[in-house]
């Protein structure tokens, strides 16, 4: 079995079809389940607060059916070495992403979780406490 290159992984992920759907009453529970998993799986000194954000967090709003999660980590370096390998073994796609543009700092850890059909169900954005992502929460 060959190892997927970053270019191949990006190409595969870009092929995903995602459409806006009516609000789903299961979205809050899907968030809570993933939040519980993250807080139980990883040390509390590493994964801290975990918040549901984006369109699926707004009751009644049609959205892309992907739960966006913002997770505060004490160290992105530790997230790379302690979180990414665990989530990748569980089938999550992992990307080290630029916050702005294509390749400039600051960076953050981004994970895509899929269901058994291969459809995206969650996006986990891991950032440190001072990242501007926290300003996006209402």
Q: What pLDDT was estimated at residue 120?
A: 92
Q: What is the mean pLDDT of the chain?
A: 87
pTM reported for the whole predicted model: 0.85
Is there a domain that residue 28 lies in? Answer: yes
Domains held by the chain: number: 1
Q: Does residue 5 form part of some domain? A: no
Lowest average pLDDT, out of 11-20, 53-62, 77-86, goes to: 11-20
Which of 2-16, 21-35, 54-68 shows the lowest per-residue confidence on average (mean pLDDT)?
2-16
Query: Does residue 2 sit within a domain?
Result: no
Structural domain for 99, as ranges: 21-136
Residue 117 CB neighbour total at 10 angstroms: 6
Residue 58 inside a domain? The answer is yes
The verdict on residue 37 lying in a domain is yes
Give a three-class secondary structure readout of 70-92: EEEECCHHHHHHHHHHHHHHCCC
35 falls within a domain? yes
Residue located via tokens 């004490």: 74
In the predicted model, is pLDDT for residue 66 greater than 60?
Answer: yes
Nearest-angstrom CA–CA distance, 81 and 99:
20
Question: Could you give the C-alpha distances from 8 to 2, 30, 88, in angstroms and in order?
Answer: 11, 29, 16
CATH classification at residue 49: 3.30.460.10
**Does the residue 16 lie in any domain?**
no
Give the pLDDT score at 97: 64
Say if 12 falls within a structural domain: no
Identify the pLDDT of residue 7: 76
Mean pLDDT score, 8-12: 71
């Amino acid at each position: 079995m060959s190892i997927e290159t970053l270019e191949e992984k990006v190409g595969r992920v870009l092929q995903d079809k995602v459409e806006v759907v009516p609000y789903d009453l299961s979205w809050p529970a899907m968030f809570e389940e993933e939040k519980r998993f993250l807080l139980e799986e990883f040390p509390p000194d590493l994964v801290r607060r975990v918040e549901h954000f984006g369109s699926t967090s707004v009751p009644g709003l049609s959205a892309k059916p992907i739960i966006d999660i913002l997770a505060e980590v004490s160290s992105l370096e530790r997230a790379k070495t302690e979180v990414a390998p665990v989530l990748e073994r569980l089938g999550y796609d992992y990307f080290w992403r630029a916050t702005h543009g294509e390749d400039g700092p600051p960076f953050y850890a981004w994970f895509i979780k899929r269901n058994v059909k291969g459809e995206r169900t969650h996006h986990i954005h891991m950032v440190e406490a001072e990242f501007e992502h926290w300003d996006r929460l209402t």
